[in-house]
Amino acid sequence: MIAFALGWAPYIVLVAAYLSLSIVSRSMSIPDSKNFITILSILWIFVVQGDSILLGPFSRLEWGDGEFMFLGYFPYLADNRDALFLHELMGGVDRYSLGRIGGAIYSGRLWMSEVMPLWLVVVLMRILVTSVALWSVYLFARKRFHTPRLAAFGFGALFSAGFDVTTSLTFLYGVSIAAIPLVLLALCRLEFKARPIIIFFLVALFYILFADPFFWLIGLWISAISLAVWHRPNNVVLYFLGLVLMSILWVANFAEAIVGMVQMVPQSSRPDAPSVAMFGDFAGYLKFQLQWMFNFRMTYNAGSWPYFVPLIYTFVQATRFKNRQIFIAGSMSLIMGIITPFLVAVPWGEIGLDFLTSYRWYVEYCAFAMVMLSAAAAACLRMDVRTDNGHLPAAICISVALAMVFVFKVNTVLHMKTRGNLSRLEQISNLQNPDWFENRNARVVGIPTGYDPNSSVSYGLSSFDGISTIVPKSTYEFWRELILETDMPAHAYNPGLPFRAEFNTCCEAYDISRDLNLDMLRVANVGYILSFKQLETNGLAKISGPQVQQPISAIGKAPDIFVYELPNPFPRAYPATSVTSFAADSNFDEFVDHIRENAPLGDAAIRTTMPDDAIAPNSIDAGSLATALIPDGFQIDIPVATGGAIIVNAPPLPWWSVTASGGQSLEWAAANLGQVVVFVPKGVESFEMLYQRPTLY
């Protein structure tokens, strides 16, 4: 049944829709009015996003990246706007390493998250993005090409329903792609008049506030240049001046995030996973790109029919009417769809642009918008536009769009049956009221099934897993080398458990020690494991949750989650029982083997030499330390000031500054791949460890 629903059924919907629309268009007069299009648009938004509108907090999670990336920690970010170092996320991360939202001065999504529950923000973003996608194409087609209303609506409907960026990943990407035609329209209409200038500024601000910050500025420039090749704006100079001004506003809003990302990339795991490596070589990447853009199967997160159908229509019209301009329009959309492998293959590091070696270009996503504009222009190539209301292109586009909506809904049902719904982000009752949470200083780890590890912080818990744009290499290596008993995917660069099919099954208990080294989790200050999958209690103690695992409920409030306790986790900071120094060029595997064996005994393994005045590490009593989390760091008190070495569970990034209570700077070193060891002289009763990465403002 599922194979049929995702295989032949969409094509049946497509054919049935096209035949129905053709019969209707021939047998009755379809109104060609603004009011009719407005009513049709409202109905269309409900067709695409009606399930979320009706279900509200019980609607689906985001798909793909958006499900387990960024969504869960928005309420936490909204409450921690002023912190540079976020203790509770992934064992501690730089705010700007979150990338998509961490560094924005102004963010519409964060504003909304401050005054609304997360589920409402997500649902409103779905309505907003799908509506913007529909109307931005429609308005551009009408205002610039005078495309017949019904045809303009058809292209807008296809754009709004055909891609994950306008339907299923609306919270994550915002209006980044959906509003590109709207931005280009505002640029094209710029003149030395008040109204178009005011409209441009309003559109630019709206786009910047509700777009995904990092990836789209270059794509927007490529789109604007591509459009200018075949379509002349009202004023070419103002067109590009407006684009420059918008870029300045964009950079001003995200400057801190951009600078932070440039600083963080060399310290992160991201350069270890370039896009080309996922496909073996350039040829493999290009083959993948072509298959992805021209996939004959109707599927989301791909070009597929919503891309190549309007592209083919553009070229057919250009050939039929021998129109060079429209041929160029289609060619630019085609180039944008396949250029990413070529951009990724450029050796950016050799010309001093190392930042771009891990940049996700996403130009093909912009091609989704541009192909609609080229097709809308092609729809005007007729003998007499006034007597042709665009029934054919409208019927084609709406039929494909309805087929894609069908695919979308089938995937939504399957997704909710295996992942649950939005209530799991903030409404799990035994996480909302965690009477089991006795060790308030311990971290948690989540099994990524119906639970989003990033949402731990929305329940007031401190996580040691989750996903970020720029993850410290130390955190990633700690997970990959010391915690995970299974291999990470070759292109992975985030901590936490990779997905396993068994996590979605019901209802036998799963032995998580197959995947996780529980001893190393204890070393990392992890005291609890959260899971909707029932786990075997080898080395664990179940302390909260249902008696037996229940099948995942697609609709309805999230059930209680299983909570398992790891006994005796190491604290956030603890005295080292020994310090073992390895040479910087020592064998990495031997170094890792030593950590795995000795870190649970309190050893700090470092790949550098110890300071000359370092005190014997076992001089500090383990029970005497008092650790407090302070803004951007730690306050550690040592009542018995005998000196020694203290291990702190924090990623060893280069921007830590350690200062004793007397004002002297203390030396520290990276230890055990993912920790910091501070060398404390005799007589020091306390010290502060502060994260001080240089920032712009």
Instruction: Give the DSSP per-residue string, 324-337.
Output: HHHHHHHHHHHHHH
Q: Measure the CA–CA gap between 177 and 168, rounded to whole angstroms.
A: 13
Can you tell me the distance from the alpha carbon of 668 to that of 676, in angstroms, rounded to the nearest whole number? 7
Stretch (H or E) spanning 77:
helix 74-79
pLDDT at 214: 63
pLDDT along the chain (697 residues), means of 10: 82 91 78 88 97 93 66 85 90 81 80 90 96 98 94 96 90 91 98 96 95 79 96 97 95 85 81 54 84 87 91 95 96 94 80 68 89 95 56 92 94 85 91 92 89 90 86 90 81 75 83 92 96 90 90 82 94 92 93 96 90 63 78 90 89 96 92 95 92 88
The residues pairing with 530 across neighbouring beta strands, listed in sequence order, are 446, 563
From CA 151, how far away is CA 384, in angstroms rounded?
Answer: 15
Closest CA to 356 of 365, 345, 371, 370: 345
Q: What is the pLDDT of residue 37?
A: 93
507 cis-preceded (ω within 30 degrees of 0) = yes
Give the DSSP letter of residue 273. S
Q: How many CA atoms lie within 13 A of 541 on its CB side?
A: 7
Q: For residue 689, which of 637, 625, 635 has the smallest C-alpha distance?
A: 635
Could you give the CA distance from residue 569 to residue 528 in angstroms, rounded to a whole number? 9
Return the number of other C-beta atoms located less than 10 Å from residue 426's C-beta: 18
Q: Which residues contact 587 (CB under 8 A, 6 or more apart)?
A: none
Q: How far apart are CA 25 and CA 47, in angstroms?
A: 21
Q: What is the DSSP letter of 650?
A: S
**Residue 575 backbone dihedrals phi, psi, to 5 degrees:** -70, 140
Among 334, 526, 499, 348, smallest CA distance to 445 is for 526
Exposure on the CB side of residue 535, measured as CA atoms within 13 A: 29
β-partners of residue 659 are 665, 688
The span from the CA of 647 to the CA of 186, in Å, is 56
Instruction: Say how far apart CA 564 and CA 560 lie, in whole Å.
Output: 13
Quote the pLDDT of residue 161: 95
| Cα separation, 427 vs 441, whole angstroms | 23
- Helix ranges, 96-168 (H): 108-115, 118-140, 149-161, 164-167
Distance CA 596, CA 683 (A): 32
CA separation, residue 675 to residues 33, 597, 600, 607 (Å): 66, 16, 13, 12
- Give the number of C-alpha atoms closer than 13 A to the C-alpha of residue 379, restricted to the C-beta side: 34
What pLDDT is stored for residue 633 in this prediction?
A: 95
334 and 311 in contact (C-beta within 8 Å)?
A: yes
- For 94, phi then psi, to 5°, come to -70, 135
Tokens of 220: 């927007």
Q: Where are the beta strands (DSSP E) in 433-569?
A: 443-446, 526-531, 541-544, 562-565
Pairwise CA distance, residues 113 & 74, whole Å: 7
Q: If you ran DSSP here, which 8-state letter would residue 62 be given?
A: P
What number of helices (H) and strands (E) belong to the chain?
Answer: 24, 16
Cβ pair 521, 483 in contact under 8 A = yes
Please name the helix (run of DSSP H) or strand (run of DSSP E) that holds residue 680, with its range, or none.
Answer: strand 675-680
- How crowded is the C-beta side of 28, counted as CA atoms within 13 Å? 6
First CA to last CA distance, the chain? 57
Please give the C-alpha separations between residue 515 and each of 128, 160, 505, in angstroms, as whole numbers.
40, 40, 16
Residue type (1 letter), 583: A
DSSP 3-state assignment of 185?
Answer: helix
- Lookup result for tokens 């910050």: 213
Using CB atoms within 10 Å of the CB of residue 389, give its burial: 0 to 12 exposed, 13 to 18 middle, 19+ buried: middle
Pairing mode of beta strands 578-581, 603-606 = parallel
Rounded Cα–Cα distance for residues 83 and 390 (Å)? 54
Cα Rg, the chain, nearest whole Å:
28
DSSP assigned state of 531: E
H or E element at residue 210: helix 194-210
Tell me phi and psi for residue 598, to 5 degrees. Answer: -110, -20
* Structure token digits, residue 473: 């290499």
Q: How far is CA 56 from CA 60, 163, 264, 460, in A?
A: 9, 22, 37, 23
What residues contact 71, with CB distance under 8 A and at least 6 apart? 61, 62, 118, 122, 171, 172, 425, 452, 454, 455
Burial class for 283, CB neighbours closer than 10 Å (0-12, 13-18, 19+): exposed
Residue 542: helix, strand or coil by DSSP?
strand
Amino acid (one-letter) located at 68:
F
CA dihedral 665, 477, 464, 71 (to 10 degrees): 110
Q: How confident is the model at residue 386, as a pLDDT?
A: 46
The closest of 537, 540, 515, 511 to 528, measured between CA atoms, is: 540
| Angle subtended at Cα 393 by Cα 389 and Cα 399, rounded to the nearest 5 degrees | 120
Q: Is 99 helix (H, G, I), strand (E, B) or coil?
A: coil
Kindly tell me the burial class for residue 547, based on how many C-beta atoms sit within 10 Å of its own C-beta (0-12, 13-18, 19 or more). exposed
